[in-house]
C-alpha cells in the first residue's frame, strides 16, 4: 500500500488520542503497539474485505488448513513488511520521538503453538496469502499458551503464559458466525415420515464455538487471508443459571490451555474435546460458507480442500460425513466420495508415542454419533480390504483396533493424500510407520519437504544481511528466494566475504547484549556461536552436545596453555512438563553452564548459555548470530526439522546427522560446506533388526567418552547427582535408546574440525555464503506451491521460477 510518512504520523497520533485520551508522550510502548496494530488493521481493512469478496465472486477453490496449533510469532513487523510500509512507519515513529524496536518488542508472542508443526502451519499461512492463494487457517484460540519457562536453581519451572492479558489487537471476534458443537448425550436413530433414519440427540453438552479471525497479510500483493481460531463459550440462548460451575468450567476449559496435561485421563479427554471442538466448528463453518454460493453438494470437493496437519484434526473426516449424512441426506457412498476427495493429511513424526489413539470407551462417551460413523468406516474398510490384503494387514491398519480409535490410520483411510515432510521421512512412513497402509494405498503417499517463512527469518530477523545481499544482487530474491543462488558469484570476493563476517559479528553483538542484560553472562563475540534451538527431546540429543561441552571443559582444564578456538554453546528448549528425562537434561545443562561460566581458569574460552523461554522471538534474535547449527538427532527420528533451514539461510554451517531435511540441506549447499557425522538411518535400522546395539561397547572402547560420561556421576558437575545418575543409567543400564554413544566419536571429530576451520575466516565465510545461497529452495512459498499443485489443486497468482 502507498502511505506518506506525514499521513501516517497524523493517523497514529489521532489513533492514540482516540484510544487512550492522552498525549503521545504519556503512553507506554505497549499502548503504542496496540494503537499501531489498530491502525494497521484499519489500513488493511479493504484488502481483507476485498480478498474474501474476490474469492467468493470468482468461486475459487478454498484450502482450509486445520491445525490444533499455530505459532505465528509477533505479527507487527511482518504485517508492516508485507504491506510495504515498514520503512515509512519506522521512520515516522522515529520522527515522533518513539522507539520503533521497543514498540515491536511490546507485542506478546501469540501463545498458540509450541514447536515444529505449529510454526510450519503459521509459515504456510503467510505463504498462502503471499502466493495469492485462497487459503484459510482453522485452529483454537487458547487463552493461555504452553507455559512461560523460567529456571529456578537450574530446573525448568512452568509459569502460565498469559499472552492474551492485554487482548489481541489482530483479531476480530465474529459472534454472528458462531456455531454449536455437541458432546456426550445419547444418540438414537428415528424413523422419519419418508422412512429414512435420522439421528436424534438427547442430553448433549452443547458448547458455543465463537470464531476469532486474524488477517494473514500477503507479501506486497493486497491479499489478506483469514486464520480462524475458535473459542469455547456457553451457548447464549440457554439460561446460564442452569449451568453448574462444573459445567461452566468444562466448557471454558476446552480453549483455556494450549496443551492439557495428558498424563491423566481427564487431561486426555480434554485434549480429545479440543480436537473435536475445532474440527466440528471448522467443518460446520466451511459447509455453511460453501452453501452461500452453491445449492447442492456436487461441487463440494472441487471447491473445498481440507488439510489435516498431523492427526489432531482427523475428526474432520467423520464430522464431514456426519453433516453430509445427517443434515444433507447423502448416501454413505456419496458422502464418503466427497469426504475422501476433500481431505488430505500430513504426518510430522515417526515417533510411535506421538501417533494418537483414543480409548474407545472415552471416545464413544464423548462423541457418540461420531463414534457410530467411525465404526461404520471401520466396518466398510474391513469388508472391502480383507479379501484382498488378508485379515492380519487389515487388523493392523483399521481405524479401530486394540480397544482404540487410531487417528493416523483414520486420517490415511479418509484422505486422498498422505505426505511426509522430507524425502527420508516419507520413505520411512512407507517402509515402517505406515507400511501396511502404503501397501493398500500406494497412490496416496507423497513427499512435501518443509519450507520456512524466509521473509520472517531472513528479511526481518536479519536486516543487516538482507541489506548486504540487496546491495549485491538487487531485490528480486525477495519475490523469488531461489535467486539467492546468484550470490555464489561472490564466493571468492574477499570484500564480500569480509562484509559477511561483519554482519555476523553485528548479530552476535546484538545477541550478546541480550544475554548480558537478561542473564548477566558476558560473551566473547569472537567465539564460535554454536546453537541448538528446538524442543527438548531425547531423540534430538541435546545430550550429545552436552558431552562435547564436557569434553571441551576437561580439555581446557587439562591443558591450560593450549590455544583453543573459543566457543559459546547456546541452547533454547522447552521440555514438556511431564517429560522427566528432558527436564533432567535441562538441569544438567544449567549446572554445567554454572560450572563453566564461573570457572576463572576457563575465562572466555568457553561459555554455555541456556536462554530461557525459547520461542519465535528469541529465535529471531539467536538464529542470525549462529555460526554453527546443531542438527544432531538420531538418524531416522527427526521428520524434517525447520530450524536447520532457518539457520542455514542466516549463514550458519550445519553440524548434522543424515536425518530429516538435513540430507536435503547438505545436498543443496554441498557436503563440503557442512559437517555431517554419525550413523545413517539404514545403520540405525540395522541395529534394530539385528538387536545387537551395545552402548557399553562404545563406552569401554573410548577412554575420553568414559571420562565425559562419568562426569555425570562423579561430582565434576555439582548439584546433579540425581539427574546425572538418571542420564548415566539411560545410557549404560538401558542401552542408550538414541545411539548417543555410537555417534560420539564422529561428532567430536567434526567439532574439532569446526574449531580448526573457523580460524580461516575467508574459507569459513565462503561456506557460510554457500549455505545462504542454497537456502532459497527451502522457502515456504515453494513448499506451499507444491501442496497447491499436487494435493489441493488450488490456483495461485505468483509464478515462482
Q: Which of 322, 478, 504, 534 is catalytic?
A: 534
CB of 633 to ligand 8GP, least distance (A): 8
Near ligand 8GP by CB under 6 A: residue from 71, 117, 647, 705: 117
Q: Which of 9, 634, 642, 676 is catalytic?
A: 642
CB of 643 to ligand 8GP, least distance (A): 8
* Alpha-carbon gap, residue 680 to 75, rounded angstroms: 39
769, 490 contact by CB (below 8 A): yes
Q: β-strands 404-406, 186-191: how paired?
A: unpaired
Nearest to 511 by CA among 616, 608, 610, 618: 618
Q: Return all residues near 495 (Cβ < 8 A) that are at least 6 apart.
A: none
392 is catalytic: no
Near ligand 8GP by CB under 6 A: residue from 75, 120, 536, 717: 120
CB of 421 to ligand 8GP, least distance (A): 4
CB of 116 to ligand 8GP, least distance (A): 3
Interface with ligand 8GP, residue 313, by CB under 6 A: no
CB of 682 to ligand 8GP, least distance (A): 19
CB of 596 to ligand 8GP, least distance (A): 29
Q: β-strands 343-346, 186-191: how paired?
A: unpaired
53 is catalytic: no
Q: Which of 110-118, 373-381, 472-480, 612-620 is the region at the interface with ligand 8GP (rule: CB under 6 A)?
A: 110-118
283, 319 contact by CB (below 8 A): yes
Near ligand 8GP by CB under 6 A: residue from 22, 150, 200, 354: 354
Near ligand 8GP by CB under 6 A: residue from 310, 630, 664, 736: 310
Q: Which of 119, 141, 322, 348 is catalytic?
A: 348
Interface with ligand 8GP, residue 660, by CB under 6 A: yes
348 is catalytic: yes
String of DSSP letters for 334-393 = HHHHHHHHHEEEE-----GGGS-EEEHHHHHHH-HHHHHHHHHHHHHHHHHHHHHH-HHH
The smaller minimum CB distance to ligand 8GP, of residues 92 and 115, is found at: 115
Query: C-alpha grid cell for residue 413?
Result: 483411510
| Mask for 372-391, x = binds ligand 8GP (CB under 6 A) | --------------------
The smaller minimum CB distance to ligand 8GP, of residues 33 and 445, is found at: 445
DSSP 8-state code for residue 257: B
Query: C-alpha grid cell for residue 751?
Result: 567439532
Total residues belonging to the chain: 801
Interface with ligand 8GP, residue 411, by CB under 6 A: no
Interface with ligand 8GP, residue 576, by CB under 6 A: no
CB of 69 to ligand 8GP, least distance (A): 8
Nearest to 309 by CA among 122, 452, 454, 437: 122
CB of 659 to ligand 8GP, least distance (A): 9
Interface with ligand 8GP, residue 348, by CB under 6 A: yes
540 is catalytic: yes
Q: Which of residues 588-647 bind ligand 8GP (CB under 6 A)?
A: 638-642
Phi/psi of residue 209, each to 5°?
-100, 115
Nearest to 796 by CA among 297, 218, 227: 218
Q: Return all residues near 336 (Cβ < 8 A) that are at least 6 apart.
A: 321, 377, 380
Nearest to 112 by CA among 21, 252, 285, 229: 229
Q: Which of 540, 574, 750, 767 is catalytic?
A: 540
535 is catalytic: yes
* Alpha-carbon gap, residue 620 to 533, rounded angstroms: 11
671 burial (CB, 10 Å; 0-12 / 13-18 / 19+) is: exposed
CB of 622 to ligand 8GP, least distance (A): 18
Q: Please, which residues bridge with residue 447 across strands? A: 420
Interface with ligand 8GP, residue 115, by CB under 6 A: yes
Phi/psi of residue 671, each to 5°?
-65, -20
Q: Return all residues near 645 (Cβ < 8 A) that are at least 6 apart.
A: 450, 451, 452, 661, 665, 775, 778
* Alpha-carbon gap, residue 677 to 673, rounded angstroms: 13
Looking from the CA of 599 toward its CB, the CA atoms found within 13 Å total: 20
Q: Which of 646, 750, 767, 798 is catalytic?
A: 646
The smaller minimum CB distance to ligand 8GP, of residues 79 and 532, is found at: 532
3-state secondary structure of 798: coil
Would you give the end-to-end CA distance of the chain in angstroms? 25
Q: Which of 116-124, 405-413, 525-533, 576-584 is the region at the interface with ligand 8GP (rule: CB under 6 A)?
A: 116-124
The smaller minimum CB distance to ligand 8GP, of residues 88 and 349, is found at: 349
| Mask for 418-457, x = binds ligand 8GP (CB under 6 A) | ---x----------------------------x-------
Near ligand 8GP by CB under 6 A: residue from 255, 339, 349, 636: 349
CB of 661 to ligand 8GP, least distance (A): 7
774, 671 contact by CB (below 8 A): no
Name the residue whose CB lies closest to ligand 8GP: 116
Q: Which of 130-138, 260-268, 288-296, 347-355 is the region at the interface with ligand 8GP (rule: CB under 6 A)?
A: 347-355
Active-site positions read 348, 534-535, 540, 642, 646
Q: Which residues bind ligand 8GP (CB under 6 A)?
A: 115-117, 120, 310, 348-349, 354, 421, 450, 638-642, 660
Amino acid at each position: 500500500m502507498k502511505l506518506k510518512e506525514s499521513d501516517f504520523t497524523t493517523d497514529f497520533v489521532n489513533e492514540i488520542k482516540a484510544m487512550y485520551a492522552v498525549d503521545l508522550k504519556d503512553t507506554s510502548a505497549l499502548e503504542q503497539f496496540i494503537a499501531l496494530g489498530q491502525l494497521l488493521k484499519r489500513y488493511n481493512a479493504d484488502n481483507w474485505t476485498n480478498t474474501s469478496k474476490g474469492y467468493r465472486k470468482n468461486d475459487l477453490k478454498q484450502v482450509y488448513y486445520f491445525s490444533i496449533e499455530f505459532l505465528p510469532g509477533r505479527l507487527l513487523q511482518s504485517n508492516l513488511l508485507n504491506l510495504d510500509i515498514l520503512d515509512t512507519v519506522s521512520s515516522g515513529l522515529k520522527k515522533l520521538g518513539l522507539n520503533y524496536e521497543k514498540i515491536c518488542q511490546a507485542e506478546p508472542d501469540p501463545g498458540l503453538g509450541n514447536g515444529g508443526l505449529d510454526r510450519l502451519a503459521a509459515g504456510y499461512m503467510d505463504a498462502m496469502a503471499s502466493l495469492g492463494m485462497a487459503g484459510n487457517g482453522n485452529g483454537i484460540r487458547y487463552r493461555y499458551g504452553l507455559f512461560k519457562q523460567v529456571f529456578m536453581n537450574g530446573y525448568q519451572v512452568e509459569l502460565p503464559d498469559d499472552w492474551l492479558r492485554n487482548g489481541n489487537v489482530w483479531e476480530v471476534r465474529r459472534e454472528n458466525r458462531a456455531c454449536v458443537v455437541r458432546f456426550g448425550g445419547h444418540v438414537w436413530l428415528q424413523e422419519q415420515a419418508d422412512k429414512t433414519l435420522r439421528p436424534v440427540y438427547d442430553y448433549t453438552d452443547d458448547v458455543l464455538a465463537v470464531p476469532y479471525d486474524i488477517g494473514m497479510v500477503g507479501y506486497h500483493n493486497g491479499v489478506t487471508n483469514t486464520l480462524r481460531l475458535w473459542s469455547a463459550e456457553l451457548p447464549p440462548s440457554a439460561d446460564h443459571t442452569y449451568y453448574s460451575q462444573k459445567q461452566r468450567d468444562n466448557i471454558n476449559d476446552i480453549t483455556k490451555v494450549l496443551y492439557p496435561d495428558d498424563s491423566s485421563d481427564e487431561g486426555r479427554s480434554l485434549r480429545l474435546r479440543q480436537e473435536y471442538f475445532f474440527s466440528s466448528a471448522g467443518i460446520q463453518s466451511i459447509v455453511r460458507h460453501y452453501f452461500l454460493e452453491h445449492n447442492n453438494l456436487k461441487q463440494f470437493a472441487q471447491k473445498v480442500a481440507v488439510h489435516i496437519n498431523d492427526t489432531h484434526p482427523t475428526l474432520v473426516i467423520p464430522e464431514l460425513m456426519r453433516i453430509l449424512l445427517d443434515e444433507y441426506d447423502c448416501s454413505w457412498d456419496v458422502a464418503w466420495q466427497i469426504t475422501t476427495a476433500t481431505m488430505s493429511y500430513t504426518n510430522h513424526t515417526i515417533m510411535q508415542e506421538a501417533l494418537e489413539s483414543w480409548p474407545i470407551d472415552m471416545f464413544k462417551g464423548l462423541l457418540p454419533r461420531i463414534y457410530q460413523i467411525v465404526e461404520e468406516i471401520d466396518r466398510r474398510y474391513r469388508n472391502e480390504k480383507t479379501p484382498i490384503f488378508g485379515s492380519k494387514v487389515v487388523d493392523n491398519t483399521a481405524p479401530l483396533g486394540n480397544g482404540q480409535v487410531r487417528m493416523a490410520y483414520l486420517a490415511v483411510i479418509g484422505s486422498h493424500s498422505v505426505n511426509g515432510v522430507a524425502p527420508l521421512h516419507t520413505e520411512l512412513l512407507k517402509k515402517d510407520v505406515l507400511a501396511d497402509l502404503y501397501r493398500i494405498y500406494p497412490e496416496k503417499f507423497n513427499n512435501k519437504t518443509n519450507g520456512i517463512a524466509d521473509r520472517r527469518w531472513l528479511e526481518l530477523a536479519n536486516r543487516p544481511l538482507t541489506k548486504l545481499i540487496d546491495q549485491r544482487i538487487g531485490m528480486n530474491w525477495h519475490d523469488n528466494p531461489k535467486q539467492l543462488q546468484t550470490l555464489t558469484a561472490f564466493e571468492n570476493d574477499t570484500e564480500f566475504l569480509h562484509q559477511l563476517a561483519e554482519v555476523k559479528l553485528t548479530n552476535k553483538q546484538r545477541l550478546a547484549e541480550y544475554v548480558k542484560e537478561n542473564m548477566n553472562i558476558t560473551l566473547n563475540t569472537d567465539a564460535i556461536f554454536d546453537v541448538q534451538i528446538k524442543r527438548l527431546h531425547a531423540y534430538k540429543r541435546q545430550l550429545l552436545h552436552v558431552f562435547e561441552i564436557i569434553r571441551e571443559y576437561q580439555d581446557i582444564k587439562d591443558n591450560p596453555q593450549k590455544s583453543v578456538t573459543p566457543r559459546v554453546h547456546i541452547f533454547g528448549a522447552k521440555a514438556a512438563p511431564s517429560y522427566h528425562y528432558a527436564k533432567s537434561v535441562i538441569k544438567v545443562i544449567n549446572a554445567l553452564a554454572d560450572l563453566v561460566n564461573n570457572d576463572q581458569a576457563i575465562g572466555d574460552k568457553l561459555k554455555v548459555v541456556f536462554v530461557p523461554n525459547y520461542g519465535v522471538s528469541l529465535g529471531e534474535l539467536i538464529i542470525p548470530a549462529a555460526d554453527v547449527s546443531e542438527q544432531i538427532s538420531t538418524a531416522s527420528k527427526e521428520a524434517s526439522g525447520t530450524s536447520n533451514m532457518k539457520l542455514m539461510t542466516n549463514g550458519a554451517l550445519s553440524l548434522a546427522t543424515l536425518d530429516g531435511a538435513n540430507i536435503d540441506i547438505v545436498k543443496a549447499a554441498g557436503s563440503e560446506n557442512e559437517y555431517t557425522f554419525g550413523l545413517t538411518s539404514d545403520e540405525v535400522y540395522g541395529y534394530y533388526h539385528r538387536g545387537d546395539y551395545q552402548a557399553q561397547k562404545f563406552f569401554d572402547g573410548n577412554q575420553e567418552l568414559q571420562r565425559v560420561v562419568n562426569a555425570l556421576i562423579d561430582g565434576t558437575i555439582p548439584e546433579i547427582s540425581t539427574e546425572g545418575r538418571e542420564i548415566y543409567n539411560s545410557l549404560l543400564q538401558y542401552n542408550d535408546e538414541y545411539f548417543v554413544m555410537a555417534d560420539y566419536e564422529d561428532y567430536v571429530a567434526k567439532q574439532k574440525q569446526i574449531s580448526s576451520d573457523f580460524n580461516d575466516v575467508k574459507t569459513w565465510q565462503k561456506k557460510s555464503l554457500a549455505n545462504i545461497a542454497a537456502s532459497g529452495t527451502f522457502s515456504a512459498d515453494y513448499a506451499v506451491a507444491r501442496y497447491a499443485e499436487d494435493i489441493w489443486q488450488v490456483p495461485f497468482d505468483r509464478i515462482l521460477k
